Amino acid sequence: MKYLQVKEAVLRELAKPQPGFPLSENQLSQRFGVSRMTARRALQELEREGYLSRQQGKGSFPAVRRFSQGFLRVRPFYEFATAQGAVPRTQVLVAEPRPAPAEVAEKLGTPETLCVQRLRFLDEEPVILETRYLDAARCGAVLAHDLTAESLHDILVHALGLPLTKVWQRLEAVALDPEVAALLAQPAGAPGLRLERVTYTLQTPVTWVEYLMRGDRYFLEDTFTPQGERP
């Protein structure tokens, strides 16, 4: 596929001692004889994977190096709560058609989205703020469901018939801003975890979600076979 050829060429450029940057869609389009859409897709994937950082009006530059170790799969909230022996509850804060912010629209490939924001409780204590944008053309029927009780994953797969085939996700430590901290019953600046995910049906992104989790209530652990983790 042409966008993969562009992407590989940019990765080779990044490996040079003095790479030629910034990059733009027009520049890549002319250089490789591809459409701007193809060039845009290559740049977007490299940005999502942490190789590039876009500066508005200037183009894409090599990103400051960050290290990725890989991490855990996240289970559906009610399944997770049951396994922990906790009582879950969900409060829906927003459930409506709403244009996606520019950064999210870029990752989903459309600004025409539904916004669903939910506050998650365990044993009546707020622990997660979930903000999700869904491709309105494919996921419009979501708003007809009970979002306080139903899993969005199950709605998409079983009610809408969308095969969910791939997830990109990223976890970071953050300081909770005052608005989020208030919802989570924490002081402004309290430590938290931010998990960002994009879920695909085949090769098409259909949902973007941000989970902001209380750092005093969440940690990540896993059990695996070391030999199976070797490349």
CB-CB neighbours of 28 under 10 Å: 23
- State whether 168 and 195 are in the same domain: yes
Residue 67 has a pLDDT of 56
- Provide Rg for the chain, Cα atoms: 20
Cα angle 162-168-174, degrees, rounded to a multiple of 5: 125
Who has greater pLDDT, 79 or 230?
A: 79
- State whether 95 and 37 are in the same domain: no
Query: Whole-angstrom Cα distance, residue 228 to residue 231?
Result: 8
- State whether 46 and 97 are in the same domain: no
Residue at 207 is within a domain: yes
Residue at 101 is within a domain: yes
Give 27-54 pLDDT, tens digit per residue. Answer: 888 888 888 888 888 888 888 777 788 7
Residue at 68 is within a domain: no
The domain tally of the chain equals 2
Question: Domain range holding 190?
Answer: 77-214
Residue at 219 is within a domain: no
pLDDT higher than 90, residue 231: no
pLDDT higher than 50, residue 230: no
- State whether 135 and 205 are in the same domain: yes
Query: Whole-angstrom Cα distance, residue 132 to residue 207?
Result: 7
DSSP 42-101: HHHHHHHTTSEEEETTTEEEEPPP-----------HHHHHHHHT--EEEEEEEEEE-PPP
- State whether 191 and 95 are in the same domain: yes
Query: Whole-angstrom Cα distance, residue 100 to residue 81?
Result: 30
- State whether 41 and 146 are in the same domain: no
- State whether 125 and 195 are in the same domain: yes
- State whether 103 and 19 are in the same domain: no
- State whether 111 and 207 are in the same domain: yes
Indicate the DSSP class of residue 140.
G
Residue at 222 is within a domain: no
Residue 56 has a pLDDT of 76
Q: Which two tokens stand for residue 229?
A: 């983790």
Residue at 71 is within a domain: no
Query: Whole-angstrom Cα distance, residue 230 to residue 16?
Result: 28
Q: What band does 15 get if pLDDT is binned at 50, 70 and 90?
A: low
Residue 20: which CATH number?
1.10.10.10
pTM for this model (two decimals): 0.70
- State whether 113 and 160 are in the same domain: yes
Residue at 223 is within a domain: no
Residue 155 has a pLDDT of 93
Q: Facing residues of 200 across strands?
A: 166, 205
Q: What band does 18 get if pLDDT is binned at 50, 70 and 90?
A: low
- State whether 196 and 93 are in the same domain: yes
